[in-house]
Amino acid sequence: GAGVSQTPSNKVTEKGKYVELRCDPISGHTALYWYRQSLGQGPEFLIYFQGTGAADDSGLPNDRFFAVRPEGSVSTLKIQRTERGDSAVYLCASSSPSGGPNTGELFFGEGSRLTVL
Amino acid sequence: EDQVTQSPEALRLQEGESSSLNCSYTVSGLRGLFWYRQDPGKGPEFLFTLYSAGEEKEKERLKATLTKKESFLHITAPKPEDSATYLCAVQPNSGYSTLTFGKGTMLLVSP
């Protein structure tokens, strides 16, 4: 009965480097979401997958951010040329086909804390 | 643009001292309003969904209510384990895959 798993839990990188953050959703959950949470703020929507395709990527801040979910399960958030302003906790959530978009019931992971020096 | 404002930012209560948290929202057609609880270093945990004005949901010491402009999370006789940040989020009728969250209210319940 594992929940949403995110790795790494902490990542420290230097400005300009490339970073990948991984999310393993709850088995059977077809919907997957990425959110970003800065200190003292609520989560901010980045992207939503239904199956393998990105159904809504309107929250990605710019073209340095990209996410994939090639087999409809594990997802990877990729950040190119990182900037200090990218420092935040990146949260992944998944939901069942009957939840999520219908009920707002998302199951969140513990997040990946990214620090860009 | 959808907006969610939560107040107060922080609240300190004594064990057993009841109170309410407020969530004011602006959304172009509300599909649903949600309350989540977030413990330090953890992801948010779903509590309630409210769909229409007048609706109420209860879970243990928590009761959520909804009007056309705001929602309240009432905490009755809180315990120290209720200490957490409580987040409110709205979902619009259009583009309903996304939730817009407020900044949260940090609740501390002292024994």
Residue with tokens 């948290």, as numbered in its chain: B21
The answer to whether residue A104 scores a pLDDT higher than 90 is no
Whether residue B71 contacts residue B35, with contact meaning beta carbons closer than 8 Å, is answered with yes
Given pLDDT bands bounded at 50, 70 and 90, which one contains residue A97?
confident
Mean pLDDT, rounded, of chain B: 95
**pLDDT surpasses 90 at B92:** no
CB contact under 8 A, B91 and A104: yes
Q: How far are the Cα atoms of A8, B8, B44, B71 from residue B81, in angstroms, in the given order?
A: 28, 19, 16, 23
Q: Percent of chain A, pLDDT > 90?
A: 81
HSE, side-chain direction, 13 A CA sphere, residue B88: 27
d(CA A99, CA A52): 18
Query: Among A48, A2, A44, A52, which residue's Cα sits nearest to residue A24?
Result: A2
Query: How many other CB atoms are found less than 10 A from the CB of residue A88?
Result: 20
Distance, CA of B71 to CA of B88 (rounded, Å) = 9
- In this predicted structure, the answer to whether residue A99 has a pLDDT above a threshold of 90 is no
Interchain proximity B46–A91, CB inside 8 Å: no
CA distances (Å), A31 to each of A52, A92, A100, B75, B96, in order? 9, 11, 7, 32, 13
Instruction: Give bridge partners of residue B105 from the DSSP assignment.
Output: B86
- Distance, in angstroms, between B102 CA and closest chain A CA? 5
Tens of pLDDT, residues B22-32: 999 998 889 89
Q: What is the model's pLDDT at position B71?
A: 98
Nearest by CB to A45, from B32, B45, B98: name it: B98
Q: How far apart are CA B47 and CA B39, in angstroms?
A: 13
Sign of CA dihedral B58, B61, B66, B67: positive
Mean pLDDT score, A58-79: 96
Q: Do A106 and B46 touch (CB under 8 A)?
A: yes
The answer to whether the beta carbons of residues B102 and B23 sit under 8 Å apart is: yes
pLDDT in tens, A23-58: 999 998 999 999 999 999 999 999 999 889 888 999
